[in-house]
Every structure is written in C-alpha cells, then in structure tokens.
C-alpha cells in the first residue's frame, strides 16, 4: 500500500503520564479519540473522566516541509465518579464517547458521555482582561471611599491566551442501561444517545426532556436475546439513523415514518455459514461499531474478526469483508477465557471513504485500501516513534516457521489492544490510542 507505508510518526502522551511513562494508572487509559470536522482539533477521553483537546499548530512558512504538530490545547475534567443510591450502583467517570458539534461561532463545542450522562462542553479562548477598579488601586489595595472623586470604567487589555472549557448543558436521567454511543444529527439541532436497549433523541438545547425512539426491551427480561451495541445518524439525511446489534445485524430507521422507530426500514444481515458454526459464533458476530461513510452510501461494521462494508441498497450481504486478524480464529477458546473476545474494537473511514482502519492486539492496527484491495498491519510503539521515521509493516505468522521480522501468534501481547482510532476528515493524519498513549501519524510530505 503505497500511500500508507510512509508515515511520519509523532508521539503524544496525556499530560498526566509525562511524569512517569513506566507507571500509569488505570485512569490514564484512553477510552475514546475523535477529530473535529475541520481536523484542526483532536479530542481524547480517558477512564479518569478527563477530556484532552489537542490543536494543530499553525503551519509556519519557515518550516514549510513540516506540517503542524498537535499540541495540548485544553484539558478538563468532564465527568466525576458518582453513585446511584437508588440502585446501589457506582457510575464510572470513564468517557465512553466524544462527538464534536459543527462549529457555530468562534468557540468549539463537543458532547462527551459516560455510562449515564451526556454533557455539552464549550471550549473558548480569551485574550483580553478588564483592568482598573474604582475601589482598589493598581496594587490591589482598598482605596478610602472618601478619596473616590471620579468614576473609572474598566478597560480591556490584551493578555496571554487562555482556553476555557465550560459545561453548557447536562443531559441526564434518560438511560437505565449503559450509554454506548452518541451521534449528532445533520440538522444541527438534535442528537441521539444509545444504551443497550434504547435509543433516545435529544434537542441540543433542551436537557429536561428526551424522546425515546427505539426500545427493544422485552416485556419479560428473560426473553432478552439481543442488545444494541452502537448507533449513528446518516451524515446527510437528517431522518435516517442506523443501529447495530449483538446478533450481527444492522437496522436502518427512518424517523419520518413514525415517532417511534421500533420498526426498521432496512435490515442488514449476512446469513450464517453453517460450516463454520461454533460455540463462539454468536459472540464473535456481535457488532462493536457501526459507521456511515462520509458520502452516506455505505455502512461499515466491525465484529470481532472482520470489518464489513455494506451498501445501503443491499441488505442481504456485505459488499466487502476484510479479515482483521483471522489468525485468532484458532485461539478463540483462550480469548474467551481471558475475556478478550468481548473487546469492542472501533473502525473508521478515511476522508474519501477509500481506506478503512481498525485496531487489533499487540498494539497493531490494520488498514484496508478498498480500491486496490491491499492491506497493511502497522504497529504503534515507542521504538518506531522517532520523528520522521517510517512505520514498517508488520506480519504475524501462523505456522511453525517464523521468518525474520515476523511475530508468531503465540507471542502477541493481548493486553496491548488498539480499540480507538480516528482519521483526519481531509488529510492522511491518524490518531491511534494505545492504552495510555496517543500516537498521531501522518503520511510523509512530498
């Protein structure tokens, strides 16, 4: 794959881990990563409830060969741990998803969610400060009231740029189960939040009311066979959204038809191949992520072993299927025992929908070129994170004979997983979250 073999890696770490890179706490593990619509900003959320926003440095003319790096722009605590006294449940502060809103004025807005509560954050800049008091002198000493003989109106003076994050809205009390995804509608007015059994529709300006549009909760919970794993709005059609299920199917709903979208208008599912059926079939077919392509024609889904691309016009089988790590098929039993089989990998499109990317184990991540049908495995690691170094493709060997530069399936590290990745909307810049490290790679200039 020509265009992706030449990456210029940069390495970023969340600020709290800079002190010591060897000992990181659970709270530092990155749980979501998302570019905004211009690609100028990149946000990460972590298990400690923090959001870190990176901003791309402006291109300077003197260093025209080097494109802007991403530097920390703002860090704030989005969610705190809570306790639900009615249900005796702890509510983790972990940020499950971040979604940027379309830019509406000079400030930036994003939605962040943990298991229960979605928050709307405003990130704004301030570069002026009012100066001059009536009751205090320049040194801050209180003036004697009798000496006040004239009034002073404060004057705004320039100051060092300050970036502030303020919580503008809190959308709570609408989910009984854990929120797995949020998605902003193209009407710029509404968004959906999705938990295991329900999809709720919110107006971005109204926090005390949401509309339940999908509810798959059976009257008797013992009859529960399927949960919702992810949902997303169509990028252009404000009335269409898709949600994926633990049974490997995707439903497309049209909000024009009815206020409740319990009935889908399209149902995408691939018939199961009886020859490969096993105890693990149902677990590995569960969809962990669903994404519309930028042009709105395709849906991409990720299950445990594959990424599939579906044409919205074809419901009975996927258009394309890519094997992410087929070499794990023989190891499902041990992956079940160490719970890895339940890992939720996400998947992303590049800006032109021609390449897709998703994560794997051992800090490997995979890219598939849909046109050339070539694929590559890359590794996010410190060793090859020297600036301007080029990422070497990695290979996993299955058989006994291991060639140089290859790694055997048995020596893969399953604790190093890449679940969350994001792709710059217009350029070949990717951000890859590997536990507590964020790697940003970009293709080589020239």
| Residues at the contact surface with another protein, assessed by CB under 8 A | 102-107, 109, 122, 124, 126, 128, 130, 133-136, 145-146, 148-156, 164, 168, 186-189, 205, 236-239, 255-259
* Nearest approach, Cβ of residue 352 and another protein (Å): 20
Q: Which is nearer to another protein, 70 or 233 (CB)?
A: 233
From CA 341, how far away is CA 358, in angstroms rounded?
16
Q: Which is nearer to another protein, 156 or 333 (CB)?
A: 156
How many other β-carbons are positioned within 10 Å of the β-carbon of residue 164? 12
* Nearest approach, Cβ of residue 389 and another protein (Å): 39
Closest by CA position to 374, among listed 396, 355, 398, 346? 355
Bridge partners (DSSP) of residue 429 are 442
> What burial class does residue 157 get, using C-beta atoms within 10 Å of its C-beta: 0-12 exposed, 13-18 middle, 19+ buried?
exposed
Tokens 């990460």 correspond to what residue?
A: 44
Q: Which is nearer to another protein, 256 or 277 (CB)?
A: 256
* Nearest approach, Cβ of residue 156 and another protein (Å): 5
Distance of CA 169 to the CA centre of its chain: 20
From CA 387, how far away is CA 239, in angstroms rounded?
45
Q: Which is nearer to another protein, 11 or 238 (CB)?
A: 238
- What is the DSSP-derived secondary structure letter of residue 151? -
Bridge partners (DSSP) of residue 438 are 12, 433
* Nearest approach, Cβ of residue 213 and another protein (Å): 12
> What burial class does residue 274 get, using C-beta atoms within 10 Å of its C-beta: 0-12 exposed, 13-18 middle, 19+ buried?
exposed
Q: How do beta strands 89-91 and 82-84 pair?
A: antiparallel
* Nearest approach, Cβ of residue 148 and another protein (Å): 5
- What is the DSSP-derived secondary structure letter of residue 276? G
Q: Which is nearer to another protein, 149 or 446 (CB)?
A: 149
SS3 277: coil
From CA 76, how far away is CA 59, in angstroms rounded?
26
Tokens 């070949």 correspond to what residue?
A: 428
* Nearest approach, Cβ of residue 299 and another protein (Å): 20
Sign, CA dihedral 85-88-89-90, equals positive
Q: Which is nearer to another protein, 186 or 408 (CB)?
A: 186
* Nearest approach, Cβ of residue 102 and another protein (Å): 7
Q: Which is nearer to another protein, 152 or 388 (CB)?
A: 152
**H or E segment and range at residue 283:** helix 281-285
Q: Which is nearer to another protein, 152 or 277 (CB)?
A: 152
* Nearest approach, Cβ of residue 57 and another protein (Å): 22
């Amino acid at each position: 794959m020509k265009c992706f073999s030449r990456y210029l890696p940069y390495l970023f770490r969340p600020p709290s881990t800079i002190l010591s890179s060897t000992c990181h706490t659970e709270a530092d593990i990155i749980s979501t990563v998302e570019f905004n619509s211009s690609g100028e900003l990149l946000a990460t959320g972590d298990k400690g409830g923090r959001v870190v926003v990176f901003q791309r440095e402006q291109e300077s003319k003197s260093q025209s060969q080097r494109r802007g790096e991403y530097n920390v722009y703002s860090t704030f605590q989005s969610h705190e741990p809570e306790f639900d006294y009615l249900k005796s449940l702890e509510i983790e502060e972990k940020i499950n998803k971040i979604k940027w809103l379309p830019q509406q004025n000079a400030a930036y807005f994003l939605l962040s969610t943990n298991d229960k509560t979605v928050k709307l954050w405003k990130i704004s800049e301030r570069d002026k400060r009012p100066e001059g008091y009536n009751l205090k002198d320049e040194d801050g000493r209180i003036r004697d009231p009798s000496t006040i003989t004239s009034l002073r109106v404060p004057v705004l003076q320039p100051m060092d740029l300050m970036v502030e994050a303020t919580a503008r809205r809190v959308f709570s009390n609408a989910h009984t189960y854990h929120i797995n995804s949020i998605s902003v509608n193209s009407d710029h007015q509404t968004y959906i939040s999705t938990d295991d059994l329900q999809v709720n529709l919110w107006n971005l300006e109204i926090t005390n009311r949401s509309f339940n549009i999908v509810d798959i909760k059976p009257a008797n919970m013992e009859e529960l066979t399927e949960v919702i794993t992810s949902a997303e709005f169509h990028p252009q059609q404000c009335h269409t959204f898709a949600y994926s299920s633990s049974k490997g199917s995707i439903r497309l709903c049209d909000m024009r038809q009815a206020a409740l979208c319990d009935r889908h208008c399209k149902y995408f599912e691939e018939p199961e191949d009886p020859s490969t059926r096993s105890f693990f079939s149902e677990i590995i077919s569960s969809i962990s992520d669903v994404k519309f392509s930028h042009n709105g024609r395709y849906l991409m889904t990720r299950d445990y072993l594959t990424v599939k691309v579906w044409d919205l016009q074809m419901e009975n089988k996927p258009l394309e299927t890519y094997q992410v790590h087929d070499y794990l098929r023989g190891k499902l039993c041990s992956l079940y025992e160490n719970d890895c089989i339940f890992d939720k990998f996400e998947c992303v499109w590049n800006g032109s929908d021609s390449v897709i990317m998703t994560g794997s184990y051992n800090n490997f991540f995979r890219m598939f070129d849909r046109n050339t049908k070539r694929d590559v495995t890359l590794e996010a690691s410190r060793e090859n994170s020297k600036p301007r170094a080029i990422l070497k493709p990695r290979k996993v060997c299955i058989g006994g004979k291991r060639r140089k530069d290859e790694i055997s399936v048995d020596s893969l590290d399953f604790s190093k997983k890449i679940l969350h990745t994001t792709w710059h909307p217009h350029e070949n810049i990717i951000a890859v979250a590997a536990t507590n490290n964020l790697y940003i790679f970009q293709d080589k200039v020239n």
